Structure 1
Amino acid sequence: MSDSLYNPFIDLIFDDHFCFLSGDLTTESMTVFPEWLMDHFKFGEDKIEMMDKMKSYTYADLKLPCSAQVKNAFSELDEKIQAAYSKGFEGMKALDEELLFLWTGRMVYGLLYYEMAYESSRLQKIGQEFRLSESLKNRFGYFHLMLQSIIKPITFKGKKPWSIAVFKLKYSADIFSFRDDAINLLFSFGVNGFGFIACLQDNGVIGAKQKEILEKISGHVLHPLQFEELYARFHYSDYILNYAPKYKVENVEGKITIEIANSEQDAQFGFWDEDVFSQLLSNYWQVYGIQKKDILQFQKPPKSFLENPYTKDFIKPESISLPF
């Protein structure tokens, strides 16, 4: 990793006085979730809990210390995303994936930052030291480095280090749906018109594993149940993935290139346990009253709204009778 760029995971620095991205001293801040998004969907005053469920914030209260340069860079990015958003699926699909990576990465990293800062403060109060495993330090450090491409001359060489899938999606109202797993750098985003799923540091491995179903849904307007099932497949694939992303970072006269250093062949997926997956999926489908016992029944294939369990044909969204 380049020694010339700020890496808060070396010394685990999550302090309000230092810009979260550049490390510069600052008194400014920016919201974790874009202000236009919170205003449009009116969720700024809604509560979000930390992972241990002991601490909560409103979305509007989640703010990252940042330099003026970083704040301006993300403001410009927000304008591009908002313009694409106004054009619906076609606008979002036409975006360079790197812009979606940076925009999504800002929210995922912001949530990760709060988890790190909260845990560090909690342990300090009881006289304990905050620590992370070397593998997590390494992973988060590379993720942070990639985000710095919004303000630094950093480019990605060859295959991109993420999987991002954008698809058509239908809701019956102006709804904003998102799920995140900040520790595993996953995010899903859905509104009436389109949705996308992002695995922000899988080196494209999970996207490749889900290639067949992604090809099947192409051109179709997904039902929300299908959207949730698709994210569950990505999420569980990440859970059973045995793969440590590696990168080759070169700095030539201040210009940095990041290249994937290990191949898809190095990735191994563990056993797909339908019992565990059904429990995960039921958590996503619970708003429809669908429980694990409805998904996994004795002597029947697991329930799916994406594929016919016998023929593996794609299930047409219009054939699903449950409400949007």
Structure 2
Amino acid sequence: MALELYNPFDELIFDESFCFLTGKLSLESVSVFPEWLLDHFKIGDDPFEMMEKEKIFRYRDLRLPCTSEVKNAFDQLDEKFREAYQKGYEGIAALEEELIFQWSAKIVYGIMHHEFQHEKKRMARRGEEFQISKDLKERFGLFHLMLQSVIKPVKFKGRKPWSLVVFPLKYSADIFSYRDDMINLLFTMGVDQFGFIIHMQDNGAIAEREQELLEKMKGYVLHPVQYEELYAKFHYSDYLLQYRPKYNIEFTDNQVIIESVPMSADQNRPLFGFWDQKVYAQLLANYWEVYGIRQEDIIRHQRPMLSFLQDPYSHDFIDPEKIDLPF
């Protein structure tokens, strides 16, 4: 008999009585954002705004119901990440990619859990049934399956399901920069000494698209404005990706093996759609708002598009030390 694993998206279960990862009776809970991280940056009591703007949590109130087994597993995972965090970029870069995925995926799933739980309750008050599309059920169910690798024999074979880039980053010591896109399974985190960006379900396609730029980055400690630009590239590339990732999944008696299928285009359409500079500039302006950089500053009349990553003429990587903007 093949190994059977829990999938909350079959019945859209986001109840506090059941473990988010196993579906068993919940006796414990685990913080969505690690408590040591909240304490370090003193953001535990800061507001966390949900997609529905009227609902606001505190960071420390975001918790996931779980069994003691799941709590222990994530506590051990988090301790490994914390030890690497304390070593800065070198520590994080030395971590196995799967561990970074698991650590980040718990945060993304935790936000998803609270978003869906809130929406389910809101619709119930209106006498309506909460539903999500078949495609999202499939995507999120697969994401949940991958996250179960923390406690179950879920193995990744060959090509990984994600794009992940880790890089040195110079930031003010008190800044915690974080963004997520739970629908498209994107996550990024930037602090002093390091940053990383992960797309959790693109089979490496976006990292391959940006491979030339990522090679040019090596040896540099990025400025925050460069970090934001890099994430904007990942985010917009995800929007342009025209194919769904595919997987060969083998269920055996004692394990699940997930093998990512390389993405390839057919003759009718390319892997990525047309890159619209105006749309990209609008997205990038949102990330650069803190610097007072607007869309009209990015697309400039009769001048190359503004970039802090590459020189528009030579295409060389721009030395972060030459960027005259605050950290």
The CA distance in 1 between the partners of 2:324 and 2:166, in whole Å, is 24
Does residue 58 in structure 1 map to residue 61 in structure 2?
A: no
Residue 57 of structure 1 aligns with an amino acid whose one-letter code is: F
Contact map agreement 2:26 2:65 (CA 8 A) in 1: yes
The CA distance in 2 between the partners of 1:304 and 1:238, in whole Å, is 19
- Partner of 1:277 in structure 2? 280
Residue from 310, 314, 321 that aligns with 1:311: 314
Runs of 4+ in 1 over 4 A off after TM superposition: none
Normalised to the residue count of structure 2, the TM-score between the two structures is: 0.96
- Partner of 1:239 in structure 2? 239
- Partner of 1:15 in structure 2? 15
- Partner of 1:141 in structure 2? 141
Residue 310 of structure 1 aligns with an amino acid whose one-letter code is: Y
Matches within 5 A, 1:85-124: 85-124=85-124
Contact map agreement 1:166 1:194 (CA 8 A) in 2: yes
Deviation at 1:301, TM superposition (A): 1.8
The CA distance in 1 between the partners of 2:173 and 2:3, in whole Å, is 48
Residue 97 of structure 1 aligns with an amino acid whose one-letter code is: E
Does residue 153 in structure 1 map to residue 156 in structure 2?
A: no
The CA distance in 2 between the partners of 1:208 and 1:270, in whole Å, is 15
Paired-residue identity, % = 58
Contact map agreement 1:85 1:92 (CA 8 A) in 2: yes
- Partner of 1:210 in structure 2? 210
Does residue 163 in structure 1 map to residue 163 in structure 2?
A: yes
- Partner of 1:183 in structure 2? 183
The CA distance in 2 between the partners of 1:52 and 1:79, in whole Å, is 33
The CA distance in 2 between the partners of 1:172 and 1:103, in whole Å, is 23
List per-residue Cα deviations over 1:257-285 (Å, max 9, x = no partner): 11124534467211111111111111111
Which moved further from structure 2: 232-241 or 172-181?
172-181
Contact map agreement 1:205 1:264 (CA 8 A) in 2: no
Residue 185 of structure 2 aligns with an amino acid whose one-letter code is: L
Residue 213 of structure 1 aligns with an amino acid whose one-letter code is: L
* Aligned length in residues: 323
The CA distance in 2 between the partners of 1:35 and 1:117, in whole Å, is 22
- Partner of 2:326 in structure 1? 323
SS in 1 for 2:168: strand
- Partner of 1:29 in structure 2? 29
Deviation at 1:3, TM superposition (A): 7.2
Which moved further from structure 2: 51-60 or 252-261?
252-261
Residue 166 of structure 2 aligns with an amino acid whose one-letter code is: V
Residue 18 of structure 1 aligns with an amino acid whose one-letter code is: F
Deviation at 1:52, TM superposition (A): 2.4
Residue 306 of structure 2 aligns with an amino acid whose one-letter code is: K
List per-residue Cα deviations over 1:110-156 (Å, max 9, x = no partner): 11111111111111111111111111100000000000011001110
SS in 1 for 2:89: helix
SS in 1 for 2:281: helix
Normalised to the residue count of structure 1, the TM-score between the two structures is: 0.97
- Partner of 1:250 in structure 2? 250
Residue 30 of structure 1 aligns with an amino acid whose one-letter code is: V
Contact map agreement 2:9 2:140 (CA 8 A) in 1: yes
List per-residue Cα deviations over 1:202-221 (Å, max 9, x = no partner): 11111111111111111100
Matches within 5 A, 1:224-235: 224-235=224-235
Structure 2 residue runs of 5 or longer lacking an equivalent are none
Contact map agreement 2:159 2:261 (CA 8 A) in 1: no
Deviation at 1:27, TM superposition (A): 2.8
The CA distance in 2 between the partners of 1:210 and 1:144, in whole Å, is 27
SS in 2 for 1:259: strand
Contact map agreement 2:3 2:256 (CA 8 A) in 1: no
Which moved further from structure 2: 91-100 or 247-256?
247-256
The CA distance in 2 between the partners of 1:269 and 1:189, in whole Å, is 25
Contact map agreement 2:27 2:66 (CA 8 A) in 1: yes
Does residue 197 in structure 1 map to residue 197 in structure 2?
A: yes
- Partner of 2:75 in structure 1? 75
SS in 1 for 2:105: helix
Which moved further from structure 2: 229-238 or 122-131?
122-131
Does residue 288 in structure 1 map to residue 272 in structure 2?
A: no
Residue 212 of structure 2 aligns with an amino acid whose one-letter code is: E
Residue 301 of structure 1 aligns with an amino acid whose one-letter code is: P
The CA distance in 2 between the partners of 1:242 and 1:23, in whole Å, is 34
